[in-house]
Amino acid sequence: MSQTSEKERCINNYNYLFRKDLLQNKVAFITGGGTGIGFTIAEVLMRHGCDVVIASRRLEKVKESAATLSAETGRRCLPLQMDVRDPKKIQAAVSEAMKQFEKINILVNNAAGNFLSPAEGLSFNAFRTVMDIDALGTYNVTKVIFDEYMKKHGGVIVNITATLQVRGQVFQLHAGAAKAAIEAMTRHLAVEWGEKGIRIMCVAPGPIEQTEGFSRLGGKAMTREYVENIPIQRVGTREDIANTVLYVVSDAAKLLTGTTIIADGGSWLTSENNLQRIKKIMTNQSKL
């Protein structure tokens, strides 16, 4: 769990594309909402009238981020300590959230763990750890919030996946397997829970600048050639992903369930996935 302790910052001059009251009176529960993409999803939902719970392992981090988010948006943000691998901790956190807000209309399963590793370099525990956080963690939180609230009242669930699993990305066996499991789970639950007024979707980011995931997965070695290889000629931003989630949870997306929105500027279609070339890029990176 060794991530940087830099304070999260809100978006400069956020450009409102939707009505500011789009999510008025809604409550969202966002795992891993204290940092990175999850933080910006929390910010953008709050900017549209939503109150938010952000939950992850580091209480100090979610507390600090909740204060930043509330100060910027004027909405309530409840920080809670929770490990998505621990059903008892999740139950306690969800029960605290229900006590404070009396509802959870939106769940964003964003918490994840990842690192670059060749398949042959993964220990049993390394593979299991990523499956546990990403796939089981998504199931665990979804189950608790379904039981506690959505079963009776409906809601929208957004699972943050990735594009690694689509083409079998080099050195990403563990995360690709986990994200593929989440996408399958999403389809199963869409089929069973549609009649309860629950929509469940995946949003799959490509490379997103200024994130932990980006720096772990080779972002530091980004070259001009890499960027030119992306159809829209740039990497994604946290705001891009937050706006995609905003659309998915809004009533504008009422017909969407059981599918994945890939939000990556077309990157998965053209990105590098050659073992020898990626090994070379990584060797050059380690010399930087």
Binding site residues, ligand COA, CB under 6 A: 1, 3, 112-115, 117, 121-123, 125-126, 129-130, 212-213, 216
Q: Work out what residue 250 binds among ligand NAP, ligand COA, none; the CB cut-off runs from 5 to 8 Å by kind.
A: none
Bridge partner residues of 204 (DSSP):
262
In the list ligand COA, ligand NAP, none, the entry touching 117 (Cβ below 5 to 8 angstroms by class) is ligand COA
The pair of structure tokens assigned to 158 is 């957004």
Least CB distance to ligand COA at residue 22 (A): 28
Per-residue tokens: 21: 């009251």
Shortest distance, position 216 Cβ to ligand COA, whole Å: 5
Closest CA to 67 of 46, 88, 93: 46
Nearest residue (CB) to ligand NAP, 111 versus 150: 111
Give the CB-nearest residue to ligand COA: 113
Question: For residues 213 and 209, what is the distance between their CA atoms, to the nearest angstrom?
Answer: 9
Cα separations in angstroms, 29 against 3, 42, 60, 80, 106: 22, 9, 18, 10, 6
Ramachandran region of residue 155, left (φ > 0), alpha (ψ -120 to 50) or beta?
left
- Nearer to ligand COA (CB atom), residue 122 or residue 278: 122
Cβ at position 275, least distance to ligand COA in Å: 17
Q: Which is nearer to ligand COA, 13 or 123 (CB)?
A: 123
Q: Is 99 exposed, middle or buried (0-12, 13-18, 19+ CB in 10 A)?
A: exposed
Structure tokens at 194: 């549609």
Q: How far is the CB of 133 from ligand COA (least distance, A)?
A: 6
Which among ligand NAP, ligand COA, none contacts residue 103 (Cβ within 5 to 8 A by kind)?
none
Q: Is the dihedral of CA 98, 101, 106, 107 positive or negative?
A: negative
Partner interacting with residue 260 (select from ligand NAP, ligand COA, none; CB below 5-8 Å by kind): none
Q: How far is the CB of 112 from ligand COA (least distance, A)?
A: 5
Q: By the criterion CB under 6 A, which residues form the site for ligand NAP?
A: 1, 3, 31-32, 34-38, 56-58, 61, 82-85, 110-114, 133, 137, 160, 162, 205, 207-208, 211-214
Q: Which of 56/73 has CB closer to ligand COA?
A: 56
CB of 282 to ligand NAP, least distance (A): 17
**Helix spans in the chain (H):** 36-47, 59-73, 87-101, 124-130, 137-145, 151-153, 164-167, 173-193, 212-216, 224-228, 238-249, 267-270, 275-287
Smallest distance, ligand NAP to C-beta of residue 36, A: 2
Nearest to 54 by CA among 78, 75, 18: 78
In sequence order, the β-bridge partners of residue 208 are: 236
From the list ligand COA, ligand NAP, none, partner contacted by residue 61 (C-beta under 5 to 8 A by kind): ligand NAP
